[in-house]
Amino acid sequence: MDSNKTILITGASQGIGAGLVKTFLDREYNVVATSRNISETARFDRSSRLALVDGDIGDPTTAEKVARTAIEKFGSIDAVVNNAGIFFTKPFLDYTIEDFRRLSSTNIEGFIYLTKHAIRQMLRQKSGGSIVSITASLADHPIAGITASVAMITKGGINAITKNLAMEFARENIRVNAVAPGSVETPLHENSPKDFLRSLSPMGTISSVQQIANAVVYLTEAEDITGEVLHVDNGAHLGKW
């Protein structure tokens, strides 16, 4: 059994997720990384401290497989990053109920399935733990012209459950936090004009994947912080600019 801490990371094959896998491996964590086809990725050096699990996080069997892999291979679940997420914008009147179900399956149901498995195991271990989720600055600070209303139901829901779970499990020392990015340099935005992305914050800058990963590490390891939604958005949450 490994004495290092074990972290579960969803949506781990590219962008923020891949950055998180590399960052936590560098910090000597055991990592169980999942996405639909992660076993095919060439992004990671294979390591005895890395386990890859294929699956759609919106399917409850994926979360079960991820949790079982962590316990069988590494002996514990100490932290989770709910990073898997889909996002697309449409005028509200053009969103369909199928759009909502797609967003909800990955962004909300995936969170519930994996977080339940993780918290059950953390309670068995009696050594606390950390849950960090990636939400979005837009969830509580909309920007005129960015029509993301239905997508933001799901991200706002994660902000809400983060605070409620933080209170529910505070006495068990299971901390629940979120990071709310603005514009990030990821494959999601590879076709977006950079000048437009820079205009979405008062600082006029775009976050790097590593800056988001650093915020996740901070919350994962900050033993006295729970129920926090940390905005890493170059000031976009401050209001009009």
- The CATH number of whichever domain residue 76 belongs to comes to 3.40.50.720
φ and ψ at 79, to 5 degrees? Answer: -155, 155
Question: Has residue 217 been placed in a domain?
Answer: yes
pLDDT, tens only, 76-112:
999 999 999 999 999 999 999 999 999 999 999 999 9
Question: Has residue 190 been placed in a domain?
Answer: no
Mean pLDDT, the chain, rounded, equals 95
Full residue range of the structural domain in which residue 61 is found: 6-182+208-229
Question: Has residue 189 been placed in a domain?
Answer: no
Question: Has residue 241 been placed in a domain?
Answer: no
Question: Has residue 234 been placed in a domain?
Answer: no
What's the average model confidence in pLDDT over 177-186?
A: 94
Give the sheet arrangement for strand 50-54, strand by strand: 50-54, 30-35, 6-10, 79-82, 129-134, 174-181, 229-232
Question: Has residue 108 been placed in a domain?
Answer: yes
C-alpha 61, offset from chain centre: 19
Q: What is the DSSP letter of 13?
A: S
Tally of domains within the chain: 1
φ and ψ at 132, to 5 degrees? Answer: -125, 135
Question: Has residue 188 been placed in a domain?
Answer: no
pLDDT, tens only, 182-227:
999 987 667 778 899 999 999 999 999 999 999 999 999 999 999 9
Question: Has residue 31 been placed in a domain?
Answer: yes
pLDDT, tens only, 144-168:
999 999 999 999 999 999 999 999 9
